[in-house]
Amino acid sequence: MDWSRYRFRSTWRLDAEPGTVYRLLERPDWYPRWWPQVREVRQTGDTTGTLTFRSLLPYDLTVHARSTRHDPARRVLEVAMTGDLEGWVRWTIGDGEPGTRLLFEQEVVVRKPLMRLLALPCRPLFVANHALMMRSGLRGLRARLAADTADVV
């Protein structure tokens, strides 16, 4: 088993229209406004950028992201990543009746040397750190969507 490989899946329920959620998520430059652990987003091209994350543990992860799927009709956003994490992440925005059902999926291999070295003994800590980041992201997204709609989209 590769202890540096992770697969995450989260389902969020949101009190907002799927189209509104999609329009917010397709703007990664806005993520730091509502997701505190997304420390920086720098656009490097039309469909590329560099993102830096930091959750509770005292280390930053920097990835270079490239949009691989931007499908407004099916409301799917997918990104390939290289750097400290290598793999992909996908948002699938669906009807929640009422509201939105948001599916987050991620499959990555950690490339950051220290995290690879500590992969086996610290895996539970890394998984818990990711869970905290996701909970904070959900809270932040809910608050952002509850704000004035004109400010969201």
Assess whether pLDDT exceeds 80 at residue 148: no
Domain boundaries, the chain: 5-152
* 76: nearest Cα among 62, 60, 90: 90
81 Cα distance to chain centroid? 11
Residue partners of 22: CB distance under 8 A and separation at least 6: 72, 75, 77, 93
pLDDT of residue 71: 97
CATH pick for 5-152 out of 3.30.1490.20, 3.40.50.720, 3.30.530.20, 2.40.30.10: 3.30.530.20
User: Considering the entire predicted model, what is its pTM?
Assistant: 0.93
Residue 69 to residue 91: CA distance in whole angstroms: 10
pLDDT of residue 60: 96
